[in-house]
Structure 1
């Protein structure tokens, strides 16, 4: 074959190689990203999202914070303990039935969660009264009927006042006090705690990368903010409950 023909063929191979190289550099990463956003690799996509918006643990002194042991009577006069919630994702609140301010909003938000996850047998709620002298099982039963509490794993619990306050203040670091000048005679937090199936308190991070720790329960999902400008967090709580329910 003539030398000129060989050189021409050689140049053709070089140009083809360059075109393939450029194509690979420009388009292959885009194709990979496109595939990862498609349902063909749904599992991979979900794992990436979980890393980006995970529901982390609350760490104290190098240890994951866990719900301490408790045992109280519920609205059906049954003894309920922390062991009854193992294997379930649940939300914790401290309230009282005669609360004239935030408790009705909190209860309605919890009913919303109850209805959202009614198909999940491993979802529950733990409500602890901070006024056990008045909130007997009978009173709690009437309260549950008034608000449409139907989930068999939603226990409204009462018992020894000091044990409940210790659980709130030392177990969850949630405010719970009898204060004469406070509305209804009690001061308490309007926050919800989220607990996983192993009994660990869980939370997503806020916009600064710090654990949110608790979810605001005093603003309905229909509101974007309250009069103090605080944002509602029920939507986030729903998202994080769903993530924990799907965890192995």
Structure 2
């Protein structure tokens, strides 16, 4: 081998040694100080990480999206069982369940109200939980009547308001505001519950197809487990989702 070649190898070896002396300690120091992270790794692979999208949401509950916008509870103002005016703003900062009922309902309403009492008791220590119950027979369900009904069902949560007001406003709130069916002629109504987050948005978990469930069955109790048609109770799911939103 020629002296020239030997000099070349010596030169290359010197450069490699110099690189190791200068740069390897710096790389080790970066690793120890956690300066090399997922972003560096992703960039080396040609992947761009969007920090905003990579953040996990506080819960896995969906929004009800209408025309590309998350649906928010519309403004309302009614009178509760204590004669107090209650608006949608009174519920801001609270996670709350919504239902539509009437006090003389002989079928599903007693079961719905019993389930709501059970939910109330589950979150009795949390001041950020509430319930909004709207009467679809407001001419009969005066504040005095609602107060007796509340006492009969053990309503103790100060954020559980049973409300009455103008019939047309309540029916519009039900059918349009919450998309919960109420028949304006025969007092037929859905036994569903809606769930609202602290900022006033309608929320729910996803169904088996990846779509928001939107509502929770309010008639079947946890003890019953299923109804006569084989539909499973959803009170347990609702309790779980309330807890999730309370932690957001």
TM-score with structure 2 length normalisation? 0.76
Deviation digits for residues 145-181 of structure 1 (CA, Å, limit 9, x no counterpart): 011001000000000000000000110111112444x
Match of 2:33 in 1: none
| Separation (CA, whole Å) in 2 of partners of 1:90 and 1:172 | 13
Aligned to 1:83: 89
**1:1-248 matched pairs, under 5 angstroms:** 54-180=60-186, 186-247=187-248
Matches of 1:91 and 1:127, distance apart in 2: 8
Q: Which has the higher helix share?
A: 1
Larger Rg: 2
Residues 32-53 of structure 1 show CA distances to partners (whole Å, capped at 9, x for unaligned) of xxxxxxxxxxxxxxx97x78x7
Distance in 1 (CA, whole Å) between partners of 2:231 and 2:204 is: 18
Q: Distance in 1 between matches of 2:103 and 2:182?
A: 14
Aligned partners of 1:213, 1:192: CA distance in 2, in Å?
Answer: 9
Structure 1: unaligned runs, 5 residues or longer: 1-46, 181-185
Structure 2 residue matching 1:139: 3-state secondary structure: helix
Query: 1: distance between equivalents of 2:225 and 2:111?
Result: 15
Counterpart CA distance in 2 for 1:139 and 1:75 is: 8
Q: Structure 2 CA distance, aligned partners of 1:174 and 1:246?
A: 26
Secondary structure of the 1:174 match is coil
RMSD: 1.4
How far, CA to CA, are the matches of 2:119 and 2:150 in structure 1? 15
Kindly report structure 1 stretches of 4+ aligned residues shifted beyond 3 Å.
none
CA distance in structure 1 between the aligned counterparts of 2:184 and 2:169, rounded to whole angstroms: 14
CA distance in 2, matches of 1:127, 1:226: 23
- Aligned length, in residue pairs: 194
| Separation of aligned partners in 1, 2:62 and 2:175 | 22
Gaps of 5+ in 2: 1-54
